[in-house]
Amino acid sequence: MRVISGKYKGKKLAGFEVDGTRPTMDRVKESLFSMIQEYVTGAKVLDLFAGTGSLGIEALSNGAESCIFIENGKEIIKYLEKNLKDISNSTIINKDYKLALSELKDKFDIILIDPPYKDNIINDCINLIETLELLSKNGIIVCESDINESEVINDKLIIVKNKVYGNKKITVYKV
């Protein structure tokens, strides 16, 4: 896997062979970033369940101001650190997502949520993000999920874009 566009285009990313990772394929990542490109430049990004950091790194490569990567996996964190070695404006938080989110003080323009599919926790994540007021006024939440995962139930969010790629679904929400 690699960064597909922008400043770090072509950079190889390590860690996709680790059990439990579900890498976002290049064609899906390309489509995702074409959906949200107007929001990326200068954005403060949160990559929740970051894994190898592929999505957050792509955002930084395409002009995001900064990215905080939250990852709790003990094995994958060393690959995330390796992938971010030469990338500035990035911070790694190695904690459970609930604890990490509760400690954040910033608001984010883009929040990327790509949790383990079997956990079906996107609703919980979004409700916690809303409770903690972590999304900026004109911010977006981008969710990658299994096509069978329950829809997000939140009266304040509207679906801006929604696409299916095989067994994956990308949904972009805005307040």
- The reported pTM is 0.93
Query: Does residue 12 register a pLDDT over 80?
Result: yes
Confirm whether 16 is domain-assigned. no
- For residue range 101-152, list pLDDT tens digits in order: 999 999 999 999 998 877 778 989 999 999 999 999 999 999 998 877 767 7
Q: Which of 55, 72, 57 is nearest to 116 (CA)?
A: 72
Query: Token pair for residue 14?
Result: 């390590």
Query: Does residue 29 register a pLDDT over 90?
Result: no
Its domain, for residue 93, covers 26-174
Backbone dihedral angles phi then psi of residue 22, each to the nearest 5 degrees: -125, 85
Q: Which of 114, 22, 106 is nearest to 59 (CA)?
A: 114
Query: For the residues 66-93, what does the mean pLDDT come to?
Result: 94
Q: Give the list of residues 6+ apart from residue 38 with CB closer than 8 angstroms, or none.
A: none
Give the start-end residues of each E strand in the chain.
44-48, 66-70, 90-93, 108-113, 135-146, 158-165, 168-174
- For residue range 88-100, list pLDDT tens digits in order: 899 999 999 999 9
pLDDT at 152: 74
Confirm whether 1 is domain-assigned. no
Confirm whether 129 is domain-assigned. yes
Domain count, the chain: 1
CATH number at residue 157: 3.40.50.150
Q: Give the list of residues 6+ apart from residue 162 with CB closer than 8 angstroms, or none.
A: 169, 170, 171, 172
Query: For the residues 72-82, what does the mean pLDDT come to?
Result: 93
Confirm whether 6 is domain-assigned. no
Backbone dihedral angles phi then psi of residue 92, each to the nearest 5 degrees: -110, 135
Q: Are strands 66-70 and 44-48 parallel, antiparallel or unpaired?
A: parallel
Confirm whether 80 is domain-assigned. yes
Confirm whether 91 is domain-assigned. yes
Confirm whether 18 is domain-assigned. no
Task: Tell me, rounded to whole angstroms, the distance of Cα 90 from its chain centroid.
Answer: 13
Q: Give the list of residues 6+ apart from residue 60 with CB closer than 8 angstroms, or none.
A: 7, 8, 45, 66, 67, 87, 89, 90
Confirm whether 66 is domain-assigned. yes
Name the average pLDDT for the chain: 90
pLDDT at 168: 86
Query: Does residue 51 register a pLDDT over 70?
Result: yes
| pLDDT band per the 50, 70, 90 thresholds, residue 23 | low
pLDDT at 142: 96
